[in-house]
């Protein structure tokens, strides 16, 4: 069942084209990561899906209806990039105020404990640290037992321990059948949480597939080794030396290793692995992802921007 949908959704702010004919579907039970650089259109897309903005053209749906319908919006939880909390209210009072808008909210204590806020119930929100306020803002998205949660940069400003606490809460919600759409600049966050990745750049969907498939769009492998010198090697797109190790991004790892052996190159500690999501993300958004004869990815269709800067090309 599709819970949220954008169909050729375009949004302009004056002369600025924030979204350009975006298609997106979020189905029940999915945990979708939305990636893109600043200004890519991630927040605009989320604002359309929750009814805070209307598309300039195209269509958006929430639970099959208008996102501005209060009955539909009551079934979602949202944490925007920036939130304001009344500084004089205690944490418990803020939770109770938000919970009063829902017919069957989570018990306050259960919610606070799940997000590591149980010891702060009596604290005024004005006395919380930035990270504590952010955790509370995310927790409020779950208070109404939503069917769909939309989180816009949920862990910005959090330390490692607080970030992992939120990750566990998001995983628990998803494991219980909840659906999540989250945007993040933390690529490791999307790798840790999401089963599906949507990459947006310049208002367009550049890729939409599994984490592994998005890595595969780039069509390169990382070959790492220790060597003093290297001969000319085939298919190398980038080389860097870090702490005495050479890291080579190549379009043909097998041919590269054969060339090393054939040339009699002295090397040790060889390692070949797929690209990280970060490497794939940088390649896709910069337009450097290979196109053409790439094998089709499994599941959803993936797209990558053509190197010449044209419309997204099916891979």
- CATH number for 70: 3.40.50.300
Round to whole Å and give the CA distance between 245 and 261. 18
DSSP 8-state code for residue 124? B
66/162 same-domain check: yes
Lowest-confidence pick of 129-138, 234-243, 248-257, 287-296: 287-296
Per-residue pLDDT of 154-213, as tens digits, reads 998 888 888 999 999 999 999 999 999 999 877 788 888 998 999 888 899 988 999 888
Owning domain of residue 42: 2-75+147-213
Write down the pTM of the prediction: 0.77
User: Cβ distance 147 to 28 under 8 Å?
Assistant: yes
67/11 same-domain check: yes
- pLDDT value at 303 more than 60: no
62/8 same-domain check: yes
Round to whole Å and give the CA distance between 151 and 32. 10
Is residue 305 assigned to a domain? no
Round to whole Å and give the CA distance between 309 and 77. 36
171/69 same-domain check: yes
Per-residue pLDDT of 61-114, as tens digits, reads 999 999 999 988 889 999 998 888 999 999 999 999 999 999 999 999 999 999
176/228 same-domain check: no
Round to whole Å and give the CA distance between 198 and 210. 9
168/225 same-domain check: no
Q: For 15-39, what is the mean pLDDT? A: 93
pLDDT computed for residue 186 by the predictor: 77
């Amino acid at each position: 069942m599709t819970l949220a949908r954008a169909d050729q959704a375009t949004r302009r702010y004056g002369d600025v084209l924030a979204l350009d004919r975006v298609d997106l579907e979020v189905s029940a039970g999915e945990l979708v990561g939305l990636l893109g650089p600043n200004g890519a259109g991630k927040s605009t897309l989320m604002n359309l899906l929750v009814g805070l903005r209307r598309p300039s053209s195209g269509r958006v749906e929430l639970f099959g209806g208008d996102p501005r319908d209060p009955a539909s919006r009551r079934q979602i939880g949202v944490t925007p990039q920036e939130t304001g909390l009344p500084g004089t209210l205690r944490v418990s009072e803020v939770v109770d105020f938000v919970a009063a808008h829902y017919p069957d909210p989570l018990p306050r204590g259960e919610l606070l404990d799940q997000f590591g806020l149980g010891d702060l119930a009596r604290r005024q929100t004005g006395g919380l640290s930035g990270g504590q306020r952010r955790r509370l803002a995310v927790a409020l998205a779950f208070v109404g037992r939503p069917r769909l949660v939309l989180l816009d940069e949920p862990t910005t400003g959090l330390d490692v321990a607080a970030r992992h606490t939120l990750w566990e809460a998001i995983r628990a919600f998803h494991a219980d059948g909840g659906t999540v759409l989250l945007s993040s600049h933390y690529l490791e966050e999307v790798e840790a949480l999401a089963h599906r990745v949507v990459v947006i750049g310049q208002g367009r969907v550049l890729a939409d597939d599994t984490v592994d498939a998005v890595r595969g769009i780039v069509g390169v492998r990382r070959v790492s080794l220790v060597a003093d010198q290297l001969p000319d090697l085939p298919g190398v797109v980038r080389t860097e030396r870090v702490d005495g190790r050479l890291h080579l991004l190549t379009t043909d790892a097998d041919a590269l290793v054969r060339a090393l052996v054939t040339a009699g190159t002295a090397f040790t500690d060889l390692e070949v692995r797929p690209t990280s999501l970060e490497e794939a993300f940088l390649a896709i958004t910069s337009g450097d992802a290979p196109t053409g004869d790439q094998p089709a990815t499994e599941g959803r269709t993936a797209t990558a921007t053509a190197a010449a800067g044209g419309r997204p090309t099916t891979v």
